[in-house]
Structure 1
Amino acid sequence: MKLRRIQKLFVGPKVRSLREAKGWTLDVCARRLGVSISYLSQIESNQRPVTSRVLVALTDAFEVSAAALDAADDDRLVADLREALADFGGRDSPVGMSELRAAALQAPALAHRYLDLHRAYRRLDERLRQTEEAVALDEAAAASSLLPYEEVRDFFHYKDNYIHELDAAAEALAQESAGAPMEAALGAAVRLADLGEVMRRYDAGARTLWLNSALPEETRRFQTAFHLVSTRLADLIEQELAVSGLKSREALDICRIGLGNYAAGAFLMPYRRFAAAARAHRHDVDELARLFEVSLEQVCHRLSNLQRPGERGVPIYFVRMDHAGNITKRHSATRFRFARFGGTCPLWNVHDAAGAPDRYVVQVAEMPDGARYLCVARGIAKRSGGYLAPVRRYVLGFGCELEHAQEMVYSAGLDLKAPPARIGVSCRICERDDCSQRAFPPVDRRLVVPGDERAIVPFQLGRSG
């Protein structure tokens, strides 16, 4: 088994949870792991990290993958807690990173419950603002809240953007129908028509799937695949929804579509075949789009899914951003963090790509935690009609940690040891003290305004907690 290099991996709450699920006492578990009771107790209380040998023993004893004990979930939880706390703007007594990490490591269930409460706060705050706007504008109702989308994004976020049972079932369905047109697998006729703004419509009585003739061929294939997997894998999708923990009807409906989209991508790009092709072509998204007859966006999304235990691909992040800077899709199998609220870092290359359609913009970037990434971005345009029809413009951003850069064709000709671009998540939570592009101070840092000098940024940051 190939394990990544371990540096002070603390997995106490996870080990305790796995042990209690097995019904083992400390004595029984210690004997199975080949360690002393006191050592196991210290591991569970996060007083000592696990070694590579003990990590292998843990995966064997509990029959889980090493990724199930990985610290990536802890890092993700710490980042989300920091942003949620910053949202309250508590500058007087900011919570330090050591306290946040302790909460994520020692009380992960409590930390997740806090994030649930924060989402509820955001929902109430959004509804209040919408009500105020509706009254001010004398409108009949306020605009609908987008918060259910955030809830669904978090669902996929904490699943590492990989749904094993659904992925495997879609792959099996693809193998079952290999060589046959999708229309045969559908058991329905597929027809093209001018549907205006509608992409897909199913007439159950006539057993006919209508597709918008103005859509590109790869989009029509994806919509056909969506209908196929939503029909054939409906029970599995509902099972995922039943254990999703999503509360609102809107979030469940959105997640149902998200799971259908996930399964459609897994059907058109079956895991093992796609992962092998990605390696062979060094993750060249143009080549992969041609091979699998899908769009660039569908390829980028699928690359971020390759997290099957024992068959993991290169960990890749994927983001779709509109020209106003709104992130409309975000998925990451890496430590790369996206802003949950507010704008993105202006030094990130996705902004350069917005003004360079159909051209790849490549950047080596470093996040505040010191992790370095190969970042790739490209602007795209989506047409859905003739000359007068509006064109939707987006930027696709994807990349990997620098240690995997040689496996990406986009690293060709780059000096990977050159000084990187120093980017952050967003100004509102970025801890960098010396960024000349800072738009405003982070909400959890004290602000100092010198009276006798003026720099590019007219303020300095006090020490954080």
Structure 2
Amino acid sequence: MVAERKLFIGHKLRRLRREEGVTQAQMAHDLGISAAYLNLIEHNQRPITVNVLLRLGDAFGVNIQEFAVDDTDTQSSRLQEVLADPLFSNLDLTRQDLRDAVERVPMVVEALQLVYSRYQQGSAGEARPAGEAILGRPAEVDELLDALEARQNHFPVLENAAEALSDEAGLRQSALESGLTRHLAEAHGHIVRSMPARVMETTPYRHDFHGKRVLFNELAPLETRVFALGKTVADLQLRDEINEIIAATKLREPASEMMMRTTLSSYFAAALMMPYARFTDAALESRHDIDVLQARFGASFEQVAHRLTTLQRPGTRALPFFLLRMDAAGNVSKRFSAGGFSFSRYGGACPAWSVVNAPQHPGNLGVDKVQLPDGSEFLSLAKSIRKGLPLAGRPQRRLTVVLGCSFEYAEQVVYADAVREAAPSPVGTNCRLCPRSRCEYRAFPASGAARL
């Protein structure tokens, strides 16, 4: 397990106090501490303790796990990326200036990021000025990914629901498909059928809600079938829990809610396939050997990689893995920054990073040791995977899945053994934010923000 770190989240506590409309003296009274001590916490001169967090939850009804996430580094990185735009080229800011802004005026920072996101997307269909390309993904995609990062990609309610269902329905890891099929029939009157590939074509499964049927393509592999059954259970009996989570995220984009609903039902399915305690123990025991974890839990490479990013239960946290999924054109459909590694929101990935070449070696796992400009080192794993089902020789879509963590955890990851003594490959977040002026892979000049 990873040792719990001291939490300096004074800016979040100060924002909560102002939102609640109470003075320092009033909040200090509710928390059972002195106003002077609360002032020290708000200014990050003292860490917030577990006891204060618990009292905060009781007194103000906050979600302790979400509140306890220190997002200063993530928000600073996002602000740095915004300021890399030529619009701000004349500003002379330091990295400490960015941290100060995040800690002292977080709402202003969020507003700036929102305005810049709208600027990137264009307003009411209007294009940006001539010669300026629109970078980044649709706003609803970034909003969803940001919401997941803000919660460390961990949802206790869904973890608990998966564990409860496993116990109540008597699910066995070695027979999840039959167990979930039985549960859907007994609890929801649903039947499960296999359909010919010529009927389903490249669709792996379909949930016929009104007909109370789950129809599988005969070509769908076991891990896809079990995952789909888990998602169906979530759709049928976890609506209230999922609605509450979505409401708490306060999503702004209408399309984000639908994507979040799909994401949360997928989260529940993964928690059923790879139960938290058992999966965490297996990950640590095998030194995070993905092949071993795939075999033990009947899951795909991507399912295992994604599950590894969710193991953030307080008291039993596993390694903080980051994750990226992109297509051959560099379009990012999944990203989760963690452990000090932040992905770019605007612009592409670093062309010097070996992961961009993963599609040239399908099926192989690329292992690399990389170093960011600030000197921090990371282990990265990249694999090109196929998505969808084969049909009459039609080409399948290929995606690259990247999983990684800080190299400080090398002893706990078996793949680090192969590159432990190797010199790290110099990479950056992207060309705009990388100060390495002599890099032969550079696509365009660095912005002023790269000096921060």
Pick the TM interval, shorter chain: 0.7 to 0.9
Do 1:320 and 1:397's aligned partners in 2 also have CA atoms closer than 8 Å? Answer: yes
Shift of 1:147: 2.7
Alignment pair present for 1:424 and 2:428: yes
Alignment pair present for 1:382 and 2:387: yes
* Distance of 2:412 and 2:418 partners within structure 1: 13
Shift of 1:25: 4.2
Shift of 1:380: 1.9
Do 1:283 and 1:408's aligned partners in 2 also have CA atoms closer than 8 Å? Answer: yes
Give 1:166's match in structure 2, choosing from 158, 163, 182.
158
* Distance of 1:283 and 1:370 partners within structure 2: 25
Report the counterpart of residue 459 of structure 1 in structure 2.
none
Q: Which is further off, 311-320 or 203-212?
A: 203-212
Do 2:24 and 2:35's aligned partners in 1 also have CA atoms closer than 8 Å? Answer: no
DSSP-derived class of the 2:162 partner = helix
Say if 1:250 and 1:67 are closer, same or farther in 2 by CA, change over 3 A: closer
* Distance of 1:91 and 1:286 partners within structure 2: 47
* Distance of 2:26 and 2:278 partners within structure 1: 45
TM normalised by structure 1 equals 0.82
Question: What amino acid does structure 1 have at the position aligned with 2:153?
Answer: N
DSSP-derived class of the 2:326 partner = strand
Alignment pair present for 1:310 and 2:306: no
Report the counterpart of residue 150 of structure 1 in structure 2.
142
Say if 1:3 and 1:59 are closer, same or farther in 2 by CA, change over 3 A: farther
* Distance of 2:50 and 2:209 partners within structure 1: 52
* Distance of 2:297 and 2:13 partners within structure 1: 41
Q: Which is further off, 433-442 or 250-259?
A: 433-442
Report the counterpart of residue 239 of structure 1 in structure 2.
244
Do 1:314 and 1:400's aligned partners in 2 also have CA atoms closer than 8 Å? Answer: yes
Within 5 Å, give how 1:48-447 maps onto structure 2: 49-50=45-46, 55=49, 58-59=52-53, 62=56, 68-69=67-68, 71=70, 73-87=71-85, 89-124=87-122, 127-129=125-127, 146-177=138-169, 178-179=171-172, 181-187=179-185, 188-193=190-195, 194=197, 195-382=200-387, 384-416=389-421, 418-444=422-448
Say if 1:42 and 1:202 are closer, same or farther in 2 by CA, change over 3 A: closer
DSSP-derived class of the 1:428 partner = helix
Higher relative contact order (CA 8 A, sep 6+): 2
* Distance of 2:437 and 2:4 partners within structure 1: 32
Report the counterpart of residue 448 of structure 1 in structure 2.
none
TM normalised by structure 2 equals 0.84
Do 1:174 and 1:268's aligned partners in 2 also have CA atoms closer than 8 Å? Answer: no
Shift of 1:382: 3.3
Do 1:307 and 1:333's aligned partners in 2 also have CA atoms closer than 8 Å? Answer: no
Q: Percent identity?
A: 32
* Distance of 1:196 and 1:126 partners within structure 2: 38
Shift of 1:115: 1.9
Say if 1:252 and 1:322 are closer, same or farther in 2 by CA, change over 3 A: same
DSSP-derived class of the 1:149 partner = helix
Give 2:9's match in structure 1, choosing from 3, 7, 11.
11
Report the counterpart of residue 458 of structure 1 in structure 2.
none
* Distance of 1:202 and 1:436 partners within structure 2: 50
Do 1:161 and 1:332's aligned partners in 2 also have CA atoms closer than 8 Å? Answer: no
Q: Give a deviation string over 1:300-344, Cα, whole Å, max 9, x none.
A: 000011111111111111111222222221123322111112210
Do 1:374 and 1:402's aligned partners in 2 also have CA atoms closer than 8 Å? Answer: yes
Report the counterpart of residue 133 of structure 2 in structure 1.
none
Question: What amino acid does structure 2 have at the position aligned with 1:245?
Answer: K
Say if 1:209 and 1:348 are closer, same or farther in 2 by CA, change over 3 A: same
DSSP-derived class of the 1:412 partner = helix
* Distance of 1:44 and 1:146 partners within structure 2: 35
Do 1:383 and 1:389's aligned partners in 2 also have CA atoms closer than 8 Å? Answer: no
* Distance of 1:438 and 1:126 partners within structure 2: 34
* Distance of 1:335 and 1:292 partners within structure 2: 29
Q: Give a deviation string over 1:69-96, Cα, whole Å, max 9, x none.
A: 564x100001111112324542222543
Q: Give a deviation string over 1:390-424, Cα, whole Å, max 9, x none.
A: 211122211111121111111224325x4311211
* Distance of 1:317 and 1:18 partners within structure 2: 28
Say if 1:24 and 1:116 are closer, same or farther in 2 by CA, change over 3 A: same
Shift of 1:149: 1.5
* Distance of 2:79 and 2:232 partners within structure 1: 37
Question: What amino acid does structure 1 have at the position aligned with 2:9?
Answer: V
Structure 1 runs not aligned, ≥5 long? 133-144, 446-462
Alignment pair present for 1:45 and 2:43: yes
Do 1:33 and 1:57's aligned partners in 2 also have CA atoms closer than 8 Å? Answer: no
Do 2:231 and 2:269's aligned partners in 1 also have CA atoms closer than 8 Å? Answer: yes
The structure whose residues are more often helix, as a share, is: 2
